Amino acid sequence: MTEKNTSGRGQRDLRVRVKTAKGRKLSSTLWLERQLNDPYVQRAKREGYRGRAAYKILELDDKYGFLKPGARVVDLGCAPGGWCQVAVVRVNALSQNPKKPVGTVLGVDLQEIEAISGAELHQLDFLSEGADELVKGWLGGKADVVMSDMAAAASGHKGTDHLRIIALIEAALEFAFDVLEDGGTFVAKVLAGGAEIEMQTLLKKSFRKVANVKPPASRSDSSEKFVVAQGFRGRAGQAAEPEED
């Protein structure tokens, strides 16, 4: 229901506006203003998540259901930890429901991450030699889910940035091939741009179902989307063509 405006002064502008401070770039001011007015940022603060990105994995899991109780999850490039926070609850890593299987959440990142209750966090370069064996050792076996919200450092050139993030997701996919259990799920952020055709082909050969989706929490002006590949059947899987969304 919309309330009638009885003041005669027009509808009030409820947006927070930020003045450009001396020495601060306009782009920084616009970013700050967007953050202050972003409903997902505000909601994350209320609900205790470390960033708005938590709602992206929540929405993806609501639709595709890969974070199941008892699942073993690896979060690549997990800082600041919002995805791990979601996974801990969804896979029952804290035994919130003793009637459900207890899952495991393992986060790795180049930088040190503040502790998250229910998650095991490691400072590790997943590209380093032997990283896959380390992860499987920490998990006590293979992973049911490998997920990544990583993005390469921006250069300011759209084409270059697209190629960088594709290279990063391809590296994450190679890592997933080494640690995923049969039937497992790979979830990762990509950027729309066309250079990912080869990667998409590889995904379709290696998973039974591949979906490319932009969750509601992803900003409309962002070129990001997410790939959700389910039903891992091996790096060289040659089964029938997967279903697509």
| pLDDT tens readout for residues 204-241 | 999 999 999 999 988 777 778 899 999 999 986 544 45
Least reliable range by pLDDT among 75-84, 93-102, 159-168? 159-168
Contact predicate 172/132, CB 8 Å:
no
Whole-angstrom distance, CA of residue 102 vs CA of residue 149: 24
User: Over the stretch 9-38, which tens digit does the pLDDT of each residue have?
Assistant: 343 344 444 445 455 454 444 434 454 556
The pair of structure tokens assigned to 115 is 């502790």
Cβ contacts of 34 within 8 Å, gap of 6 or more: none
Cα distances from 35 to residues 38, 48, 186, 218, 226, in angstroms, run 5, 16, 29, 13, 22
189 is catalytic: yes
Q: What is the mean pLDDT of residues 138-149?
A: 97
Regarding pTM above 0.85, the answer is no
pLDDT of residue 4: 39
Higher local confidence (pLDDT), 238 or 102: 102
Question: Binding residue per annotation — 109?
Answer: yes
- With a CB cutoff of 8 Å and minimum separation 6, the contacts of 77 are 108, 109, 110, 126, 148, 149, 150
Q: Answer yes or no: are the C-beta atoms of 108 and 74 closer than 8 Å.
A: yes
Domain with CATH 3.40.50.150 in the chain: 51-244
Is 83 known to sit in a ligand binding site?
A: yes
Provide the token pair at 47.
């609900």
- Residues 70-91: what's their mean pLDDT? 97
22, 45, 189, 209: the catalytic one is 189
Q: What is the pLDDT of residue 194?
A: 54
What superfamily does domain 51-244 belong to in CATH? Vaccinia Virus protein VP39 (3.40.50.150)
- Whether 174 has a pLDDT exceeding 80, the answer reads yes
pLDDT at residue 177 tops 80: yes
- As a residue count, the chain comes to 245
Task: Give the pLDDT confidence score for residue 109 in this predicted structure.
Answer: 97
Q: Is 31 marked within a binding site? A: no
pLDDT at 142 over 70: yes
Question: How high is the pLDDT of residue 8?
Answer: 40
Q: Give every strand in the sheet of 143-148, ordered side by side.
A: 119-123, 104-109, 72-76, 143-148, 180-191, 224-232, 207-213, 243-244
